[in-house]
Structure 1
């Protein structure tokens, strides 16, 4: 008969099986991979003078109607830019409908956009990894591309999911002269600003499993409790053996890392609870929470029992979308703040499901959300194109 730590090993192994540690697959998309010489520091002339680094971005003009179509700009978040391009098919679908130029920009310090090369994350070099610097990167890149493509009057719509969604909203707030609107999907702008319950995210992760079957949450709690009891009893050998760790656990820090790893595994399963198989952030089957719960319950007989940059309400032309299956949703905007700060709710939606490409398994609410988003964005583009020409310099600014 398996012990509870052995059962817990199954739960963690399940998370590994679902791809928490797996890499993404490079997509076969129509993007061209390019690099832009970006300022290392946008705000201080003294520290790095005119030094630059190569910022990677992806671009496709496959659907663009030059002189008439908008620019759809994805504000890259914490990872390789190809991963987000591969998993944001709605933007390409919308680009085909609205004849847009599409750009996915990589966030500084991630992927291949390393200001100091391999030494970028050394303590003395990490100080320029900030929201403000990243937003300035995107603003400078947009202005340069508008000049390069002779599109000074093309409206720009920012897109992003999760942290990237926060950045898309911030772009509209900080640079409204450059960005005409933003779709901020699954963007926890309120929780990052310190509004709400800081523990709500993990409560919502638990709720995802609890809502499928209360016994799932009970099984996980019991497993965590059993390992904690073994740790307090000094039974490191038993934990190591039951968890099949590569090295024997021998300290409180080892146990802390074990708990953190397992917590993140369940978090990823909850976030990626899409109704179809996906390779985003790893390889996941359809409905991973359901599959995880069912695998856990097969063993039930063996168990004894970032502050906002300004006031949101002062902004305009931002869509905040959230799904009820996403544990980040509680930290996002879930009600309209004004006629142009619009909240869209996706019943049965996991982490920024609406940014993903259309899929027959999508819940009706996801299809409705995308249709609503498309109509709103079309209106923004039309209004921006009909307004007076944006003030654009003859060259992109030396600093922002």
Structure 2
């Protein structure tokens, strides 16, 4: 069992002493928490079984073309996969494909989660493919600008098609029904795999999938404001108002040049020297709330209830002073000494081509936002409670400074993505879209039934990818209901699957 624990992820997180680009740190911590919970769940389950019944997942790698669309290019890379045969009803049982995204995969991709529970119920073979250029699925030169041009969702879908062939040949599959699962960006990939390769995958469950690319994603913080105001998850109008007042005070300090006070109050690692540092500082502050909302009830260092309990406590002083308390609590919980607000440091980190084989791939994902998706979370909507410095221009400037991509290039790439996949009207079939109304990403998802074969589930009170987690006694009734519906759709698909493997 020891080899199943991605200790490298834990060690990286525990060794951090400064916070910078806060949202990446929040994502890293959530990944760590999911791994630890999955480990405990798997160990507990194993204790109930005889040792002879335990089949460890298979880890392997598949040689993939670097460019599927130009085989003359010639270069390849090794793409990591995981396979769990434990629940498979050989040889006719279905195949459940878990799709990786912008972070490293671990064995828990085929050991824990709602899709694993479904596999146990339906006797499915569980397979998972790590996304190209993330985790261990990358060549030593994979982060150079020259190599990154082969990082795209289109190449990723072709990887999945190649992996489908590999699994089919490895297990001599014939009439087996494939269903793919993914959450967040992989949720979009799941929907797009069914859309573009209907002859390979019979159906898809796309959770928290932002299928509509958007350059200026103002809707993200519109949902954050609504979630901070929602009593269902511990928010209130008073909380959202206090957050807005606190950030307005921060903006006033910045405009008045009271930088030393901000540096001291919010424990900045370095002086806020340049205007770009002011944007970095405001962004890092907002990330604490954005992360708490996106991963509500999952991120141990913050939730809507926790943040609002502080922001509405008059005894702590003004909203600005309560924001200072929020910052101190965040740094303490994350075991961080201070907040790194240096924009120059951010540029250095995002320009670095040193490989990190664990956690979230920052440079790679920013490249994908610049070349496909946008998704830049600004504060240009009147409802946004954060700093008005959070505009589109600094985000686009990163694309230019890091990758040499002009704003018009980024805008054109976003438009192409929506044309290529159909945005939030993809016109696929047998794709189930699942979202939580607390999750800011649901603003770019499919929220209403597109047709009888493109249904949508919107879960009240749940955040990002909540439905994909393992079933727990503490689950909200709305989440229990949603999983029952997911179960029903998967069961219907499997019962209606044709005998011919080539049928779409």
Q: TM-score, normalised by structure 1?
A: 0.83
In the alignment, the residues of structure 2 paired with residue 304 and residue 54 of structure 1 have an alpha-carbon distance, to the nearest angstrom, of 51
Residue number among 298, 313, 319 corresponding to 2:432 in the alignment: 319
Greater Cα shift, 250-259 or 209-218: 209-218
What displacement does 1:84 show?
7.2
Q: CA 1:338/1:230 → structure 2, altered by over 3 Å: closer, same or farther? A: same
Q: Which residue of 2 aligns with 1:35?
A: 61
Residue 71 of structure 2 is aligned with which of 24, 41, 45?
45
Kept in 1: contact 2:61–2:79 (CA 8 A): yes
Pairing of 1:155-304 with structure 2 (within 5 A): 155-190=177-212, 192=213, 198-211=217-230, 212-274=235-297, 278=298, 283-284=299-300, 288-298=303-313, 301-303=316-318
Quick check: 1:97 aligned with 2:121?
A: yes
Equivalent residue runs for 1:78-89 within 5 Å: 78-82=102-106, 85=109, 89=113
Following superposition, the deviation at residue 201 of structure 1 comes to 1.4
Alignment length (residue pairs)? 363
CA contact (8 A) 1:139 1:178 kept: yes
Which aligned runs of 4 or more in structure 1 are off by greater than 4 angstroms? Answer: 18-21
Contact preservation (8 Å) 2:223, 2:440: yes
Q: Are positions 1:389 and 2:404 aligned together?
A: no
Q: Secondary structure of 2:87's match?
A: coil
Structure 1 CA distance for aligned equivalents of residues 236 and 489 of structure 2: 38
Deviations 1:297-346 (A, max 9, x none): 33565116943434445310000111121111122111111111011121
Deviation, structure 1 residue 379:
2.1
With normalisation by structure 2, the TM-score equals 0.67
Deviates more, 1:35-44 or 1:295-304: 295-304
Q: RMSD between aligned alpha carbons?
A: 2.7
Alpha-carbon separation, structure 2, partners of 1:170 and 1:252: 40
Unpaired runs of 5+ residues, structure 1, are 1-11, 392-400
Residue 504 of structure 2 corresponds to residue 378 of structure 1: no
Which residue in the other structure is 2:94 paired with? 70
Task: Work out the CA distance in 1 between the residues paired with 2:305 and 2:102.
Answer: 28
Which SS does the other structure have where 1:328 is aligned? helix
Residue ranges of structure 2 left out of the alignment (5+ in a row): 1-18, 43-55, 321-372, 374-416
Q: SS of 1:189's equivalent?
A: coil
Work out whether residues 60 and 81 of structure 2, in 8 Å CA contact, stay in contact via their aligned partners in 1: yes
Report the counterpart of residue 397 of structure 1 in structure 2: none
**Which moved further from structure 2: 129-138 or 305-314?**
305-314
- Pairwise CA distance, 1:149: 1.0
Shift of 1:20: 5.5
Alpha-carbon distance in structure 2 between the residues aligned to 1:86 and 1:97? 14
